Every structure is written in structure tokens, then in C-alpha cells.
């Protein structure tokens, strides 16, 4: 992943954490941020598998393993 993608994922995770917990950065906010950021990384990796092969069953397996919804 390049720096631009990581920054965009961080921005998305920040928005989700803000929407979920409006009190601002603290341990609850950080938990929500980390959860969304990790989900975005898993999605990015699984999506990369999907585009690399016509059909790759590992893509669904990866998402399922990490609890990322389709």
C-alpha cells in the first residue's frame, strides 16, 4: 500500500470514529478508529486478491476470517 491509500483509509476511519463517538479522541474513540482502520486494510487486501485473479475464493475467506462484512 502506498502512503496515499493509507492516508485515505485513516481519514475514513477518523470520520467513522467521529460519527460513532462524538466526544472526541479518547480511548473509546480510538477503539472505533482502530476497528475501522483495520477493517479498511483487510478490505483493501481482499479486494487486491479479487482483481488479481478472475475468481479467488481466498478473498471471501480473508474477509470472513477478520469479520469484515461483504
First to last CA, the chain: 21
Cα–Cα distance for residue pair 46/37, rounded to 1 Å? 14
Q: What is the pTM of this model?
A: 0.74
- Which H helix or E strand runs over 39? helix 27-52
Grid cell locating 20: 460513532
Phi, psi of 53 (to 5 degrees): -135, 150
Segments of the chain scoring below 70 in pLDDT: 1, 24, 53-56, 69-70
- Model confidence pLDDT, tens digit, residues 1-16: 688 889 999 999 999 9
Amino acid at each position: 500500500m502506498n502512503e496515499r491509500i493509507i492516508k485515505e483509509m485513516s481519514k475514513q476511519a477518523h470520520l467513522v470514529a467521529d460519527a460513532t463517538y462524538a466526544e472526541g479522541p479518547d480511548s473509546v474513540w480510538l477503539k472505533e478508529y482502530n476497528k475501522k482502520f483495520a477493517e479498511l486494510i483487510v478490505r483493501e487486501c481482499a479486494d487486491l486478491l479479487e482483481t488479481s485473479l478472475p475468481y479467488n475464493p481466498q478473498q471471501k475467506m480473508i474477509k470472513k476470517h477478520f469479520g469484515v462484512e461483504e
